[in-house]
Each structure stands twice: as structure tokens, then as C-alpha cells.
């Protein structure tokens, strides 16, 4: 059985850069038509769409804040209007800020809850209106922070642990409709966002490398390859799984 996504339509949230961009490009390379969602980075999303087109793939950029119900519902409807169906939803959009609990502001807490957890739930709900009788695949992007605890990450970890709960419940709830729901928990991955907060400094990279059994930090392509597998018919009997894609980091 192959990992082809030919004929399928995928919606990837937060896909203008980082892990989301990697997943969008990999799914297009596997044959899917891809909606590259972004909230503010229009140029980044356009660049990903252009890269996909260069390799013969099909993609379109669509703006929506996945923390806003009306925008999410419009996004899913627009995806179907553009490509005729919806088969795959990748809930990748995420924000993060790290601080000790006493320094965690209400604004940072609310933003992470709204985007990472609330956004995942309402996007699943909106997408379900458009999955057909053929079923589908939902892939939630969690984090190893929900398994490997670190100081300063209480808000982020809480949201990602919540996503794990969403994954488990929906896997049971949607199974009768042929919709599989799985989760990827990335380890230390070199992305623009990680670099922006200093998580990919030479010192941090050395620490991650030393503590990761496979001896390196991850790349968006590492995560994307697993997402393509989970979305494909090759994973047709897999649902409710939270898969650590972390180079062995625990």
C-alpha cells in the first residue's frame, strides 16, 4: 500500500512557515491539493504556494485566524468551494510564549488557549461539516512538552495536553464516520519560530543534540513525512494515536 494522497484535499493551518509549511509541501508532493492557511504572513504563504506550483503541485493560500469561529467556518467552506471536497485537516497553527507561572500574563495565556486548544476544537468542528461519506483524516500537531515537562511552559503545555484529549475523544467519536484522528508530538525542531525565541541557539542546539538519542534536532520534513503517512490509506487502521516524532527524546 502506498502513501499516495492523489485526489485528496488537505487543509493545513498555520502553513506559511515552519512545520506547517513542511507538511503542506509534502502533502502536495504526495498528490494532494493543499490549502495553505495563514493568519498574517501573506508573503510566506504565497511563497509556499509558489514552491508547490514549481514542482507541479496544486495549492492555494487562504487567510483565517483559527481562533475566530466565523473565520474558521469560512475557511473550510472556501477550501471546498476551491477544490470540491475536504479529506485531510492538519491542525498545526500554534503560538507559544515561555515564562514562569508568576510572569505568565493573562494575554499570553489567553492567546495560547485561544489558538492552540480552542482553535483546534473549532476547526475540527467546522471541517466536519465538509468531510464526505468517504471519511477522512484529522492530524493534530501536539508537542513533546505534554510528555516531557519543563519549567516555564505551564500555559503552552496545558494547551498541548488539552489537544491530546481532543485527539483521543474525537478518534472514538468519529470512527463510525470513517474519520481517523491522530496526533504528532514533535521534539526539538529547527523552525523560524524556534529560532526567534532563541531555542535554536548554538547552546540550545547542542543541549538538544546531546539529549536526543538520534543525535540531531529535527526538521519540518521529519514531521511532514509522518503526517503524509497518517493521512494516507497506508495508515487506514490507525486512529487515536499520539506519535512522538522526536528522535527518541523523552
- 145-155 residue pLDDT tens: 888 888 888 99
Residues 6 or more apart in contact with residue 124 via CB below 8 angstroms: 89, 91, 138, 166, 170
- 19-28 residue pLDDT tens: 999 999 999 9
Least confident of 102-116, 159-173, 192-206: 192-206
Residues 6 or more apart in contact with residue 57 via CB below 8 angstroms: 25, 28, 29, 33, 34
Least confident of 8-12, 60-64, 100-104, 164-168: 100-104
CA distance 58 to 247: 31
Q: For domain 9-244, give its CATH number from 3.30.70.141, 3.40.50.720, 3.20.20.60, 3.30.70.270.
A: 3.40.50.720
146 close to 114: Cβ distance less than 8 angstroms? no
- Identify whether 208 is a catalytic site residue: no
Across the chain, what does the average pLDDT equal? 94
Please report which helix (H) or strand (E) contains residue 229, including its range.
helix 220-231
Q: How confident is the model at residue 2, as a pLDDT?
A: 53
Is residue 96's pLDDT more than 50? yes
124-145 mean pLDDT: 95
Q: How confident is the model at residue 1, as a pLDDT?
A: 44
Is residue 4's pLDDT more than 90? yes
Is residue 10's pLDDT more than 70? yes
Cβ–Cβ contacts within 10 Å for residue 178, how many?
15
* Residue 85 grid cell: 471536497
Q: How confident is the model at residue 78, as a pLDDT?
A: 98
- 167-199 residue pLDDT tens: 999 999 999 999 999 999 998 888 887 788 777
19 close to 92: Cβ distance less than 8 angstroms? yes
Least confident of 154-158, 192-196, 233-237, 244-248: 192-196
Q: Which of 156, 174, 228, 245 is catalytic?
A: 156
- 35-56 residue pLDDT tens: 999 999 999 999 999 999 999 9
Is residue 100's pLDDT more than 80? yes
Amino acid at each position: 500500500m502506498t502513501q499516495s494522497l492523489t485526489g485528496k484535499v488537505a487543509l493545513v493551518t498555520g502553513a506559511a512557515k515552519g512545520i506547517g509549511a513542511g507538511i503542506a509541501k509534502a502533502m502536495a508532493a504526495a498528490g494532494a491539493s493543499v490549502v495553505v492557511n495563514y493568519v498574517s504572513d501573506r508573503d510566506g504563504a504565497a511563497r509556499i504556494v509558489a514552491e508547490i506550483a514549481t514542482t507541479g503541485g496544486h495549492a492555494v493560500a487562504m487567510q483565517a485566524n483559527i481562533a475566530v469561529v466565523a473565520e474558521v467556518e469560512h475557511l473550510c467552506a472556501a477550501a471546498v468551494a476551491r477544490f470540491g471536497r475536504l479529506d485531510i485537516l492538519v491542525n498545526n497553527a500554534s503560538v507559544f510564549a515561555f515564562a514562569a507561572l508568576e510572569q505568565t500574563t493573562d494575554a499570553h495565556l489567553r492567546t495560547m488557549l485561544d489558538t492552540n486548544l480552542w482553535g483546534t476544537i473549532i476547526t475540527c468542528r467546522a471541517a466536519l461539516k465538509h468531510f464526505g461519506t468517504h471519511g477522512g483524516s484529522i492530524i493534530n500537531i501536539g508537542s513533546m512538552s505534554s510528555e516531557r515537562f519543563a519549567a516555564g511552559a505551564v500555559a503552552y503545555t496545558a494547551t498541548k495536553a488539552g489537544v491530546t484529549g481532543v485527539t483521543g475523544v474525537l478518534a472514538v467519536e468519529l470512527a463510525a464516520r470513517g474519520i481517523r484522528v491522530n496526533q504528532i508530538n514533535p521534539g526539538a525542531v529547527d523552525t523560524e519560530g524556534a529560532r526567534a525565541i532563541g531555542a535554536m541557539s548554538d547552546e540550545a542546539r547542542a543541549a538538544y543534540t546531546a539529549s536526543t538519542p538520534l543525535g540531531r534536532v529535527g526538521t519540518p520534513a521529519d514531521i511532514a513525512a509522518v503526517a503524509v503517512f497518517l493521512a494516507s490509506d497506508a495508515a487506514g487502521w490507525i486512529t487515536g494515536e499520539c506519535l512522538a516524532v522526536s528522535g527518541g527524546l523523552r
